[in-house]
Structure 1
Amino acid sequence: MVSVLFLLLQSAAMVPPNAAAIDDDGTITVTATQLPDLAAQAEACAKQLCPTRKDIAVTVAYASALFDEGNYRDAKRLLAGAVTRTRDAAKAEPIAVSTLYQAQATLASHEGDQDIVRDATWASANVLREGLPDNSLPQLTAELRLADWQLRTGDKTGAIARYADIAARAAAAGHGAIGDVASLRRAVTVESTGRTSEAMALLDSLAARPGADAAELRRAALSTAARLATRAGRTQQADAYVALLAAEPGGAEPVLISSAELPRPGRPDTAPFLDGVGLDRGARGSDLAGLRWVDIGYRILPDGRVADIRFVRGSARLAWAQPLLGYIGSRRYTPFAGSDGVHRVERYTLTADYMVPSGSLIRRRLRNPRFEVMPMTVSAAAETGH
């Protein structure tokens, strides 16, 4: 009789030996060119014990591919299985395991499971606290994600304090770039609490950083200040920041300087585009918020306007996504050199958080209906906050 182990090894040998790999910094490189190759290795690792790095690399890569296709449910299950298999290896492979938790938290934020978002975000940070030297770059990056999570859950005071702590620790450890990101996010969060003068003073101090190596920071600080001033209706102040931004040496990418607010979907029982979809996309009811997704492409013109906004792919019946076209079209970027413009794609997920409604025992997407956003092109990350 042929052993099951032999069949598994034979199956694995039919696909590239390393469809995906993860390095010492947690960066995953995908070498497989076909989705079935990733699926085969992910399935093999689920059935037999793969080395931790290989297991995490192929699992995260395959889950990412499933996410790209809109298959959030299977991606969620895949990542949960990998967490169960590899969490005991956190001491030996802290960066790889932390990367897995990070992927799980990101997927869960779109899928709506805030329990997983919370647990995975904290686990990602705790693994690095225990496994790496204090104030290492991966550790500080995980702390930044924790601060972002605090902000998303309404703990602005905690987020502001953590952003400030990260900036101080990063400066002391020589990781200035991550500290600058924390300071920029602290300024935006402080401004949202009504402490406008404090926020703008922080942005002004960042924009005044001297030296050629601080040019990118100055552009980020000035564009952030311009967006905040525009949003608050302080047109003269916004124009002054835009003028300062124009005087800075141009960066490689256009910088967002103004935008309308991201639309918020209405309550699921009043908004027709939030038709009911249950936990497994089977159960239906008026109190269930539907999970929908769409990739939207657009082009930033050299004069800073946005054009060619279009649906690239997504769920069926995209009427619910129409407000997003106007939102993207409202953006204005800094002018830049280039005849054809810059093309970008962003993923929008119409989702809501799970909760157990009164009189039921079943968790359903019901609370806080919203659009989650993710850049599908690297250069879009600055505008979406990823």
Structure 2
Amino acid sequence: MLSPVLLLLAQAAAPPPPAGDVIVVGHRAEQELARCLARNCPPAEEVDTSLEASVEQFADGRYTDARRTLQTAIRRNRNHAAELPGPVSSLYATLATVAEHEGDTDLWRTAARNNVLVLRRHLGETNLATLREELSFADSLVGLGAPGAANSAYRTIQQRAAGSGHPGIAAGAAFRRAWLALLRDRFKEAQRFADEAVSLAGTDNRLMVDLREVLRTRIAIRKGDEGAIEALAARLRQSADVQPQLLFAPPLANNNPPAPPFGVHLNPWHDSRIRFADVGYWIRANGQTAEVEVLRTSGLDQWEPGILRQVRERRYVPLEAEPGHPGIYRIDRFTVRGAMDVPTGSHLRQRMGDLTVHVVDLTETDAMREARRRQTAAASAVKGG
């Protein structure tokens, strides 16, 4: 799972939902998709409706249904990628997210790669939409446990974006390189890349300057300065109308059973379940979380206390808000699952191995879908022009 600080660079800012909103998961989009297919609707409409239905299914915890909806839409519409490069690439991008949470690492990698290939082929390597999805693919490589490949990809993206007049993308790639260096305890290298990111973005880019300060704070924490978070929080403020900026989150506890003694055999198919939970919480004006609770769960079992503790101990940038402002409400989907693999002596893919935790912000679902619509429309307009 990629650090939320890195994900911040790729996410579109969106206003928080009003306090008291009720989230209802129904089947409206699925029904609309069925009607669309029954009347043989145009490819552009089918792709958009399929995306809506898959998001609805994913939010409802029906990962298999979401995957099948997307795969069917891809089979029916991949030949329309030339005239619909953005929408078709969005099918692959959404499929990659679903595959990650479902535990199909092969499909996750393939879908993320195909998302990029569609845009490269039909929009070009230096198109803004292509470069954004190149970053997303490199982020997926981090999640797939290939940080070296991800770092090489970030370097290439940084060079390509800087040379084609996209300083924001170049800065985002440079900062990701800084964060990977931090994770490897290469502090001087991390600071150098972070400085590059600020230089590329421009010193008037407050977000990148703030992110550099976040990285410096994380270095200070790793060196034992426990007061670094409070000192940084005292300096930073952000509007209550933008996406919350994470300063610190403790690692999630690993609740996998200990490895067996040498020579002791355990069933490799020890856990075939997918567990998930939607965790709601407030981010108060001081940047601390409050009222953390499980809104819906399929049974996290022993993982639930650690997940709730992690959310409670997060620290966000304090908000610039009027006195009495309730803060920002968020809902995160936590999925706990093993990866799909083929065990020795078998030809059948099974869910096996250690369980891992994967997180997606459900609060952003509608906003991200609208942002994707605008992005794909822009990409199609560029193609048409």
Structure 1 residues 268 and 313, CA gap change in structure 2 (3 angstroms): farther
Structure with max Cα Rg: 1
**Is 1:259 the equivalent of 2:249?**
yes
Partner Cα separation in structure 2 for residue 34 and residue 327 of structure 1:
26
2:43 corresponds to 1:52:
yes
Q: In structure 2, the residue corresponding to 1:134 is in which secondary structure? A: coil
C-alpha distance after superposition, 1:215-257 (max 9, x if no partner): 1211122123323432x14417x73x86467445644455322
Q: How many residues align?
A: 332
How far is 1:60 from its partner? 1.0
The amino acid across from 2:108 in the alignment is V
Q: Secondary structure at the match of 1:292?
A: strand
Q: Give TM-score, length-normalised by structure 2.
A: 0.77
- What is the rounded CA distance, in whole Å, between the counterparts of 1:223 and 1:348 in structure 2? 24
Q: Which amino acid aligns with 2:338?
A: A
Structure 2: which amino acid aligns with 1:306? Answer: T
Alignment match, 2:16: none
Q: What SS does the corresponding residue of 1:124 show, helix, strand or coil?
A: helix
- For the pair 1:294 / 2:277, whether they are aligned, the reply is yes
One-letter amino acid of the structure 2 residue matched with residue 334 of structure 1: V
Partner of 2:59: 68
Q: In the TM superposition, what are the counterparts of 1:18-167 in structure 2 within 5 Å?
A: 35-46=26-37, 49-167=40-158
SS in 2 for 1:371: strand
| CA shift in 2, pair 1:109/1:289, >3 Å | same
User: Residue 227 of structure 1 contacts residue 259 of structure 1 at CA under 8 Å; is this kept in 2?
Assistant: no
Q: Cα distance 1:165–1:137, how it changes in 2: closer, same or farther (>3 A)?
A: same
How has the CA–CA distance of structure 1 residues 366 and 332 changed in structure 2, closer, same or farther, with 3 Å as cutoff? same
Please identify, of 293-302 and 218-227, the stretch whose mean Cα deviation from structure 2 is larger: 218-227
- Are residues 34 and 197 of structure 1, via their aligned partners in 2, closer, same or farther at CA, if it must alter by over 3 Å? closer
Change (3 A) 1:171 1:242: farther
Please show how residues 341-356 of structure 1 align to structure 2 within 5 Å.
341-356=327-342
1:328 to 289, 311, 323: 311
Helix, strand or coil for the counterpart of 2:320?
A: coil
Listed one character per residue, the Cα deviations across residues 291-342 of structure 1 (whole Å, up to 9, x for unaligned) are: 0110111112222222111001121465532210111111122333333222
| Contact in 2 for aligned 1:215/1:248 (Cα 8 Å) | no
CA distance in 1: counterparts of 2:247 and 2:124, whole angstroms: 38
- Give distance in 2, aligned partners of 1:151 and 1:209: 23
Q: Runs of 4+ in structure 1 displaced over 6 angstroms?
A: 208-212
Deviation at 1:213? Answer: 4.2
Aligned positions of 1:162-241 closer than 5 A: 162-207=153-198, 213-230=204-221, 232-235=222-225, 239=228
Deviation at 1:203, TM superposition (A): 2.0
- Counterparts of residues 363-378 of structure 1 (less than 5 Å): 363-378=349-364
Q: What is the alpha-carbon distance in structure 1 between the residues aligned to residue 350 and residue 186 of structure 2? A: 37
Q: Which secondary structure state, in structure 2, belongs to the residue aligned with residue 365 of structure 1?
A: strand
- d(CA) in 1 for partners of 2:213, 2:124: 34
TM-score (norm 1): 0.77
Assess, with a 3 A threshold, how the Cα gap between structure 1 residues 222 and 126 changes in structure 2: closer, same or farther. Answer: same
* Equivalent-residue separation in structure 2 for 1:209 and 1:165 (angstroms): 15
Unaligned runs of 5+ in 1: 1-32, 271-283, 382-386
Percent identity between matched residues is 29
Partner of 1:13: none
Distance in 2 between residues matched to 1:208 and 1:170, nearest whole Å: 14
> What amino acid sits opposite 2:110 in the alignment?
D
SS in 1 for 2:282: strand
Q: How far apart are residue 48 of structure 1 and its match?
A: 5.9
Q: Distance in 2 between matches of 1:234 and 1:308?
A: 29
- Structure ranking higher on relative contact order (CA contacts 8 Å, 6+ apart): 2
Q: Distance in 2 between matches of 1:362 and 1:288?
A: 15
Root-mean-square deviation over aligned CA pairs:
2.9
Q: Is the 8 A contact 1:160 1:190 kept in 2?
A: no
